[in-house]
Amino acid sequence: LTACLFAQAMGLPIQKIIAATNDNNIVPEYLESGIFQARPSVSTISNAMDVGDPSNFARIMDIYANDWEVIKDDILGYHYNDEQTAKCIQEVFINHDYILCPHTAVGYMAMNEFLSNHPVSSNNIVLSTAHPVKFGEVVEPLIGQAIEIPERLKSILVNEKKSIPMSNDFSMFKEWLLNK
């Protein structure tokens, strides 16, 4: 959400931003009420969205100078539970032969709900950040088959992990980068 706001501020022509989430619906509740109520997160199948006190919320407030009226005009919030998310993954797979990860399913449902209430002729984008194979234990039982690991990901999984210990001194880091 915050990255989308940054992109919009840099000139990307975004007409409406949709904040889609799971049962950890802190932002949609704020957009509805104007009251930010942080709370412990609940565990869901879209676990990267399991956030009860979003760290980027302060950045969002700063972008909008803490003006709830402006924020709620720019951003719409939708939230979905695990049952809805699982059903969406299954329906998209059956109807479109496409495998969604749980997080993408949440975004997809939000886009569809928005479009059912706000028909628009412009392009619509659902941002997805993870391959469904990352959530195989959730997705595979829903679609009834194994998810094929893409070749690019396979090559990463077999590579030896490499790490280079270094100081937190920026000049040393810069020197290391320049000598690579």
Mind listing the pLDDT tens digit for each residue in 13-61? 888 899 999 999 999 999 999 999 999 999 999 999 999 999 999 999 9
pLDDT at 43: 96
pLDDT at 157: 76
pLDDT at 161: 80
pLDDT at 155: 82
Torsion sign, CA atoms 53, 54, 55, 60:
negative
Residue 167 CB partners (closer than 8 Å, separation 6+): 173
DSSP 64: T
Which residue shows structure tokens 């980027």? 56
**Average per-residue pLDDT for the chain:** 92
pLDDT at 121: 65
Cα–Cα distance measured from residue 168 to residue 171, given in angstroms and rounded to the nearest whole number: 9
Take residue 54 and report the two structure tokens written for it. Answer: 């979003």
pLDDT at 146: 95
Q: How far is CA 177 from CA 141, 153, 163, 168, 170, in A?
A: 44, 26, 14, 13, 10
DSSP 150: P
Bridge partners for 79 per DSSP? 21
Ranges of the chain whose pLDDT falls below 50: none
Q: HSE (CB half, 13 Å, CA atoms) of 132? A: 22
